[in-house]
Amino acid sequence: MDLSSPIEEVKGVGPKTAALLRRVNLCTVGDLIYCLPRIYENYQTTTNIEDLHPGKVIIRGKISDLHVVRTSRKRLTITQGVIRDNTGAVRTVWFNQPYRAKQFDEKREYYFTGKYELKNGRYQLTSPSATLVQDVESTASSGFQPIYSAKSAIKPQMFHKLIDGLRPQFAKIPDLLPLTKGKPDFVKQGSRAEALYNSHFPESPADAESAREYLAYEELFELILAAKLNKQENQRLKSIPLPFQAEFTQCLVKYLPFRLTGAQRRATWEILQDLERPLPMNRLLQGDVGSGKTIVAALAAAQATLHNYQTALLAPTAILATQHFEDLSRLFRNLERALGPNAPWRLPRIALLTGATSNKRQLKAAVKNGEVDFVIGTHALLTDDTNFYSLALCIIDEQHRFGVGQRQKLLLKSPENTAPHLLSMTATPIPRSLQLTVFGDLDVSMLNELPPGRQPIVTKILSEISQREELYPKMRELLKKNQQIYWICQVIEEKNASTATPVKIQAKKLQEIFPKVKIGILHGKMKPEEKDKIMNDFVENKIQLLVSTTVVEVGVNVPNANMIIIQDSENYGLAQLHQLRGRVGRGDQPASCFLLTTGEGKPSKRLREMEKSTDGFHLAEVDLKIRGPGEIYGSMQHGELNLQIASLNDTALISQAGLHAAQFIKDAEKLAAYPELARRIKRYQQITTLN
């Protein structure tokens, strides 16, 4: 038997077990060994019932008096029981797990792990998990036991036994990484075999932690190396150098309708320098909502036009593309006027291409013949029949809304044998830790400064049930000043989902309260033209109160809208809430954001963070900690981003692995000597590519 032997060869695996294991992709001995514990339960630390304090506890005892209670309300079943040890007794409760009543042998001892808390005036152990004491003793002599993910499909005790039988196989596990040199001191395990062995059979928490560190380090090293290789490969491509012309850019900047912020100047400078080089730029422009990313992109596009090359700007929605088109048309028109007819430079001829564009064919011909310098559009830009004359710069707004495949499509439209410069823009910042790991040395420009005069947005959590009435006078006051309001509700896409109130009902309700106010509705099921019409009416203040789903989330700019109310706010991620809030406070008036909640308990950490902070970078870090990268960047990276072992909080490991990978990559030939590593890295490269 070796690591690649099929699981059927493992002692104790019959056809039935094998089928179950194969169903969750555990097919070989190696697969079983690499299936690592999710957490560890430390049964050395049980608490006597007489000493219990609220919080997570482990009790060793017997259970009796089990019975199931059914409540008519919400069809809930409650299973109750009493756990006893030598020092006392405690009530225990499970919700909707009626099988619990039959699960236990009242004569045997179990470890019960759960939350000890005060509920309805009584202390109880809520929804504990239970393990036979005897089972723990037979597999983990130390009483420190690995817990495998529920996904492993077979009973935990069975899993322990299988792994236990594989002990002799561990010696055959080769090292993956060139870890002898460069490995940081605090990674204590000597080899991969040792680390894997200790993570399955730890003698102590310290053992398990240092095993985890070894494996986490390995994972981070691979991820960072993959990102660095991506960058290296990107640098082998050629692109069209677009030399910087100081006089031109200075002149444009002088005639802008406002003074650039320091951050905008820095970012523009970084981008224009990248454009000069014959290697493709791959830069991410991160800037909070309203930080002024568009103008930076416009200056880059102007630089391309100066050299008679084309620029494409891809936006996720027609509304946003149209707004960019209108803003930029106005900007370039005014600049042209300021420069005067005798200026030695020309500015971009600009066009809009969305699904709704009427003269598509004509427009595409103009793009193909080079009669347009700067095309702004939606997915319509990506079709096969959209061809460019000389595309040298691609700008992707709200880049996280596009998948790898979509971005690739655009990038392939540059002249043969060249790659366009790529500027990705996002208001959902990628936290530093993630930049380093997943995106390697991605070049990042930050707009960490808002244009002057912006009013802070006051954010407040309100209970929809008890505090909704408080909102109306505030809304009335604002409407009286002829300002505008967004009301965001959650709409159910599937028929039988959640209790959120749909847009129409909400609009009707509000119309009754504000009979004279013009209310518009906007949701994803509307046709693009209908949406655009409503949005335009809102921009022009023909609609004062816009009741909408999150389709307004991205980019649009209505400076006269100064209040946003978000219903069912607990159902949104932080990044999305922050984006929504960014719809207001774009003018010179004070703005406010109300987060309505329907829950009865304390508002979630997410919402409280929203109340405390308007800093998108801070919120992104918090979001990452709460939800993990796969959730946030999932759509972009096929959800494969979640680290298996390492955590983005492993900052010391991350920076060490980064240094180590940088050293290793200097001699890329080395990778050939580590075929298993090379294979794994290839996979990582595919999921982390940003171009």
Q: Which residues bind ligand ADP (CB under 6 A)?
A: 258-261, 264, 287, 289-295, 427, 451, 557, 586
Distance, in Å, from the CA atom of 240 to the CA atom of 304, rounded to the nearest integer, reads 10
Residue with smallest beta-carbon separation from Mg ion? 555
Q: Which is nearer to Mg ion, 7 or 425 (CB)?
A: 425
Q: Which residues contact 473 (CB under 8 A, 6 or more apart)?
A: none
Identify whether the C-beta of residue 353 lies closer than 8 Å to the C-beta of residue 332.
Answer: no
289 binds, among Mg ion, ligand ADP, none (CB under 5 to 8 A by kind): ligand ADP
258 binds, among ligand ADP, Mg ion, none (CB under 5 to 8 A by kind): ligand ADP
Q: Which is nearer to ligand ADP, 93 or 556 (CB)?
A: 556
Residue with smallest beta-carbon separation from ligand ADP? 292
Of residues 563, 569, 596, the one with CA closest to residue 464: 596
CB 510 → ligand ADP: shortest distance, Å?
Answer: 28
* Cβ count within 10 A of residue 156: 18
CA 208 centroid distance within chain: 29
CB 223 → ligand ADP: shortest distance, Å?
Answer: 29
557 binds, among ligand ADP, Mg ion, none (CB under 5 to 8 A by kind): ligand ADP
61 binds, among ligand ADP, Mg ion, none (CB under 5 to 8 A by kind): none
Q: Which is nearer to ligand ADP, 267 or 462 (CB)?
A: 267
Q: Which is nearer to Mg ion, 103 or 536 (CB)?
A: 536
Distance, in Å, from the CA atom of 111 to the CA atom of 53, rounded to the nearest integer, reads 17
397-426 binders of Mg ion (CB under 5 A): none
260 binds, among Mg ion, ligand ADP, none (CB under 5 to 8 A by kind): ligand ADP
- As beta bridge partners, residue 445 has 285
Which tokens go with 17?
Answer: 């077990």
Q: Which is nearer to ligand ADP, 90 or 295 (CB)?
A: 295
291 binds, among Mg ion, ligand ADP, none (CB under 5 to 8 A by kind): ligand ADP
CB 330 → Mg ion: shortest distance, Å?
Answer: 16
261 binds, among Mg ion, ligand ADP, none (CB under 5 to 8 A by kind): ligand ADP
CB 539 → ligand ADP: shortest distance, Å?
Answer: 12
314 binds, among ligand ADP, Mg ion, none (CB under 5 to 8 A by kind): none
- Nearest-10 Cα torsion for 513, 518, 524, 525: 90
CB 289 → ligand ADP: shortest distance, Å?
Answer: 5
HEC per residue, 138-154: HHCCCCEEEECCHHHCC
- Nearest-10 Cα torsion for 577, 579, 584, 585: 110
CB 586 → ligand ADP: shortest distance, Å?
Answer: 6
- As beta bridge partners, residue 285 has 425, 445
Of residues 376, 440, 393, the one with CA closest to residue 275: 393
Q: Which is nearer to ligand ADP, 261 or 433 (CB)?
A: 261
Q: Which is nearer to Mg ion, 225 or 319 (CB)?
A: 319
CB 293 → Mg ion: shortest distance, Å?
Answer: 5
DSSP state of 75: G
Q: Which is nearer to Mg ion, 17 or 399 (CB)?
A: 399
Which tokens go with 120?
Answer: 């309805």
Distance, in Å, from the CA atom of 53 to the CA atom of 57, rounded to the nearest integer, reads 8
- Three-state secondary-structure class, residue 395: strand
377 binds, among ligand ADP, Mg ion, none (CB under 5 to 8 A by kind): none
16-23, Cβ contacts within 8 angstroms, sequence gap of 24 or more: 17/154, 17/158, 20/153, 20/154, 21/152, 21/153, 21/154, 23/153
CB 43 → Mg ion: shortest distance, Å?
Answer: 54
Of residues 9, 62, 61, the one with CA closest to residue 31: 9
CB 133 → ligand ADP: shortest distance, Å?
Answer: 59
348 binds, among ligand ADP, Mg ion, none (CB under 5 to 8 A by kind): none
Q: Which is nearer to ligand ADP, 243 or 456 (CB)?
A: 456
533-592 binders of Mg ion (CB under 5 A): 555
In whole angstroms, how far apart are CA 307 and each of 175, 181, 241, 311?
A: 52, 49, 9, 11
H/E stretch holding 112: strand 110-119
CB 436 → ligand ADP: shortest distance, Å?
Answer: 24
Distance, in Å, from the CA atom of 426 to the CA atom of 147, rounded to the nearest integer, reads 39
Q: Which is nearer to ligand ADP, 36 or 260 (CB)?
A: 260
292 binds, among Mg ion, ligand ADP, none (CB under 5 to 8 A by kind): ligand ADP
CB 588 → ligand ADP: shortest distance, Å?
Answer: 10
- Three-state secondary-structure class, residue 485: strand
Which tokens go with 159?
Answer: 């899993």
Q: Which is nearer to ligand ADP, 454 or 474 (CB)?
A: 454
Identify whether the C-beta of residue 628 lies closer than 8 Å to the C-beta of residue 522.
Answer: no
Q: Contact residues for Mg ion (CB under 5 A)?
A: 555
